[in-house]
Amino acid sequence: MESIEEVFKLHMNDIYRYLLSMANNDSHLAEDILQETFIRAFVALDHYDSQRVKPWLFKIARNTFIDYLRKHSRVIPTETAFFEIANIEEETPEQAVLEQENLSKILEVIHMLPYKQREAVLLRDFHALSYQEGAEIMNVKMNSFKTLLFRGRKNARDQLERGNEND
What residue ranges define each of the domains in the chain, with the CATH number in brackets? 1-77 (1.10.1740.10), 91-167 (1.10.10.10)
Handedness of CA 19, 89, 104, 124 (dihedral sign): negative
Contact of 34 with 60, CB cutoff 8 Å: no
Range in 4-13, 59-68, 73-82, 141-150 the model is least confident about: 73-82
* Cβ neighbourhood burial of 136 (10 Å; 0-12, 13-18, 19+): buried
pLDDT tens profile 45-89: 777 776 778 888 888 898 898 888 878 764 444 444 344 444 444
* pTM of the predicted model as reported, rounded to 2 decimal places: 0.56
39 has a pLDDT exceeding 80: yes
Question: In this predicted structure, what is the pLDDT of residue 143?
Answer: 95
